[in-house]
Structure 1
Amino acid sequence: MLKWMSAGESHGRALVGILEGMPAGIEISTAKVAQYLASRRAGYGRGARQKFEQDRAHVLGGVIRGKTTGAPIALLIENSEWPKWETVMSPDPVPPQDLKINAGKGDEREIARNQPLTRPRPGHADLAGMLAYDLEEARPVLERASARETAVRVGLGAFAQEFLKQACGIELISYVTQIGEVSLAAGHPIPALSTQEKLAENPVRCPDEKISEQMISQIDAAKNNGDTIGGSVEVAAYGVPIGLGSHVAADRRLDARLAAALMSIPAVKTVNIGDGTQPYLPGSAAHDEIIRGEDGEIIRASNHAGGIEGGMSNGQIIRVSCGYKPISTVPRALRTIDLANGEESCANHQRSDTCAVVPGAVIAQAQVALVLADALLEHVGGYSLAQVRENLQGYQKRVGARL
């Protein structure tokens, strides 16, 4: 069983992640983790921070000479902006006068770094977090609720993706299906794994060039209007064995686990398994019939279910999508109430992206990988990569005999 967690703040010294339960023998390097992290920083609509934030990663435990040891993996990701925030984000007390220094840029929309953030932003965790944790300002809330934390998820997801690939050949691909009012056509084909590089090079990570151009126009329009924009992404997992997950308990259902993992990503508001047409079709058309292929093997006539039935993988490509709301830090600041004096005001504005849907695809891919890795280990077990392979081969042999 895999367990993972993160710690750290958006403008703190660093982010830290722990991944427990990863088998020994998986080949990985700091450079490989850095490649995954770099993909999260890419994408049209990103803000200035991504230009200089290098996400320098350090593996502090669980890996020796390029292979996992079976011990908990500890990952640290530096925040390159830390020197600018040492005072306001100091873990130790600081002189009160130091917090009265205006550290902003002079832009009236840019709140001075050292000033209390008492004007909660609609759509963010600010207001609920201040009240729930009895805080005088939103700084402790927004620093932790920030999507910056997802860098750790992508870093830990790198280990999960390498494990899946090396254990049984599972590979994942992610792409953007919608930005604003522009989307891929219903029933669009799943991109082949061979298109990974081409997708990574596309500014909006979209498999359709013409649609991609329209998506870019949507982002430009939002930026010019002092606004933000959301959209949807999809993750496809190739090569997933049949039977991962379980029907016997609610918290073991694979679709439920995937939905929970994706909904935990900041700004995700919807999750969908499969093509989403099942609720609107008659049963005779909604389900994936089981038939014999040309070589006599058992196959499906379609994949409306997205590779999951009854809480378990059914041997087809797993297809899961999620929708991201527009970023809540809107340059054209929204109305709010200043909790310092109870007066009507405009929400705090700090530097942000116009659109974070493109990196959202990479983040979703990491979350799906972590869930699939956990489900695979739950099903076949093993403390080492060799044991996992051997156990999986035995299981697949039994399944092959039945089919």
Structure 2
Amino acid sequence: MLRFSTAGESHGESLVALLSGLPAGIPVDQSFLDHELWRRQQGYGRGGRMRIEKDTAHILSGVRHGHTIGSPIAMTLANKDWKNWEEILPVAEGDPEKHKAVTSPRPGHADLAGALKYNFPDARYILERASARESAARVACGAVAKMLLRALRIEVASHVTRVGGAELSREATFQEIAALASREDVLLACVDPESEARMKAEVDVALRTGDTIGGIFEVVVHGLPPGIGTHVNWDERLDGLLAQAVMSLQAVKAVELGRGVTAAQSPGSKVHDAIGYTSGDVGDLAAGGPFTKFTREHNNAGGLEGGISNGEDLVIRGYLKPISTLRRPLASVSFETREATKASYERSDVCVVPAAGVAAEAMVALTVARSLLEKFGGDSLHELHRNYTGYCHQISTY
């Protein structure tokens, strides 16, 4: 089973990422891995921390001569800000006078709930692990999962469809979405310049007023054949696995698959994707489909029916709340005096919707890769590819 875990704190010495269960023989591209980490750091409205950190993944194990070897992959991502926190957050006891306590919890953050849970007198240790800085380690793991998917000609990409009240005004093609990953000026990762300009104006208002702003990102998986996932057990449904994976990201408060939100207020005749059939060639399977002669008029289902992929693009949207650290802090209560005060302020961002989309790509890639490995197995990429190609041929001749 493909598994991953992360460790580390926001201002600790480094983040740690551990990924196990990948077959041997997957080409590992260090430049691609680091570019994914770079993408997570970009976007209009990011804070000062992103000018400090230049994330790169240091691979310790599981990769030799540029390929996976079947054993667990361990990576570290150094925190350059550590030099400013080494005496504040030492591993040993250190000097208590140098500790930077967080004594007034921020509404919307894990501060208060975590301090109550662990019986801490302040929220510093909660903040350090609950921070979205942790998502950088997820992106590192997701980048390696993408390398597996690319070997099967499956792609994962994301874009921003809404920031505050500004929304993408048209549909986007997968080619447009995928092209965003190579942009040097990420801005707000929107495929339409006019819509992006309106989104930027929303961020500018938040910047001027000391506020923060959220939005919606969309992750698309292209080239996935039908039959991935299952309907037979509740905890094996691909839709449920994807929803949990994206919901686990910091600040995500809702997940939508396909047109799930508008479908709830529409008649069935306008929701379900009518099925057709073509007698033509299904195309070159080696190029990533199409895999079947069955066709769909639309993709309102987002590529998933009954917990199973149906051959259309997977479409997953994450609804991101505004960041909970505001330069104009909200009302809070002091841990020390129990009196009313203003919430603590930690250096933070104003808008992170594009970065959240990159982190969600990683979670989706890891989830899809796990489902593929569970279905097709294989201790080597060669064995996996053989099993996968045989299944695709079966689908194409159904």
> TM-score, length-normalised on structure 1?
0.93
Structure 2 equivalent of residue 151 of structure 1:
136
- Structure 1 residue 35, shift from structure 2 partner: 1.1
- Structure 1 residue 65, shift from structure 2 partner: 1.2
Question: What does residue range 47-196 of structure 1 map to in structure 2 within 5 Å?
Answer: 47-97=47-97, 99=98, 114-166=99-151, 168-185=152-169, 188-192=171-175, 195-196=179-180
Structure 2 equivalent of residue 105 of structure 1:
none
1:357-399: per-residue Cα shift (whole Å, max 9, x none)? 1111111111110000001001111111111100111112222
Are the structure 2 counterparts of residues 200 and 367 from structure 1 closer, same or farther at C-alpha, using a change threshold of 3 Å?
farther
- Structure 1 residue 260, shift from structure 2 partner: 0.3
Aligned-partner Cα distance in 2 for 1:74–1:28: 13
Are the structure 2 counterparts of residues 71 and 382 from structure 1 closer, same or farther at C-alpha, using a change threshold of 3 Å?
same
1:74-116: per-residue Cα shift (whole Å, max 9, x none)? 010000010110112111111334x2xxxxxxxxxxxxxx332
* SS of alignment partner, residue 23 of structure 1: coil
Letter in 2 for 1:128: A
- Structure 1 residue 290, shift from structure 2 partner: 1.2
CA contact (8 A) 1:199 1:207 kept: no
Are the structure 2 counterparts of residues 332 and 7 from structure 1 closer, same or farther at C-alpha, using a change threshold of 3 Å?
same
| Unaligned 5+ runs, structure 2 | 282-292
Letter in 2 for 1:20: S
* SS of alignment partner, residue 81 of structure 1: helix
CA contact (8 A) 1:177 1:183 kept: yes
Question: What does residue range 323-362 of structure 1 map to in structure 2 within 5 Å?
Answer: 323-362=319-358
CA contact (8 A) 1:42 1:358 kept: yes
1:248-305: per-residue Cα shift (whole Å, max 9, x none)? 1111100100000001000000100002332222112211111013627211111100
Letter in 2 for 1:384: S
* SS of alignment partner, residue 171 of structure 2: coil
Aligned-partner Cα distance in 1 for 2:298–2:278: 12
Structure 1 equivalent of residue 286 of structure 2:
none
- Structure 1 residue 235, shift from structure 2 partner: 0.6
The more displaced of 138-147 and 392-401 is: 392-401
CA contact (8 A) 1:190 1:236 kept: no
Letter in 1 for 2:365: A
Letter in 2 for 1:227: D
CA contact (8 A) 1:199 1:206 kept: no
- Structure 1 residue runs of 4+, over 4 Å off? 197-200
* SS of alignment partner, residue 397 of structure 2: helix
CA contact (8 A) 1:30 1:58 kept: no
CA contact (8 A) 1:191 1:207 kept: no
- Return the match for 1:216 from 192, 200, 205: 200
Question: What does residue range 232-381 of structure 1 map to in structure 2 within 5 Å?
Answer: 232-276=216-260, 277-293=262-278, 295=280, 297-381=293-377
How many residues matched?
Answer: 385
| Unaligned 5+ runs, structure 1 | 100-113
* SS of alignment partner, residue 32 of structure 1: helix
CA contact (8 A) 1:172 1:237 kept: yes
1:169-195: per-residue Cα shift (whole Å, max 9, x none)? 00011000000000113x623341662
1:16-70: per-residue Cα shift (whole Å, max 9, x none)? 0111101111111333211110111111000111112011320011100110011
* SS of alignment partner, residue 93 of structure 1: coil
Aligned-partner Cα distance in 1 for 2:368–2:92: 40
Aligned-partner Cα distance in 1 for 2:57–2:157: 23
* SS of alignment partner, residue 6 of structure 1: strand
CA contact (8 A) 1:39 1:200 kept: no
Aligned-partner Cα distance in 2 for 1:183–1:237: 22
Letter in 1 for 2:123: A
> TM-score, length-normalised on structure 2?
0.94
CA contact (8 A) 1:23 1:382 kept: yes
- Structure 1 residue 334, shift from structure 2 partner: 0.5
* SS of alignment partner, residue 351 of structure 2: coil
Aligned-partner Cα distance in 2 for 1:366–1:387: 24
Structure 1 equivalent of residue 384 of structure 2:
388
CA contact (8 A) 1:175 1:199 kept: no
Aligned-partner Cα distance in 1 for 2:168–2:82: 40
Identity of aligned residues (%): 42
Letter in 2 for 1:96: P
CA contact (8 A) 1:289 1:302 kept: yes
- Structure 1 residue 401, shift from structure 2 partner: 2.1
Letter in 2 for 1:118: T
CA contact (8 A) 1:56 1:77 kept: yes
Aligned-partner Cα distance in 2 for 1:75–1:198: 24
Please, what is the CA RMSD of the aligned residues? 1.4
- Structure 1 residue 200, shift from structure 2 partner: 5.7
* SS of alignment partner, residue 137 of structure 1: coil
CA contact (8 A) 2:87 2:95 kept: no
* SS of alignment partner, residue 192 of structure 1: helix
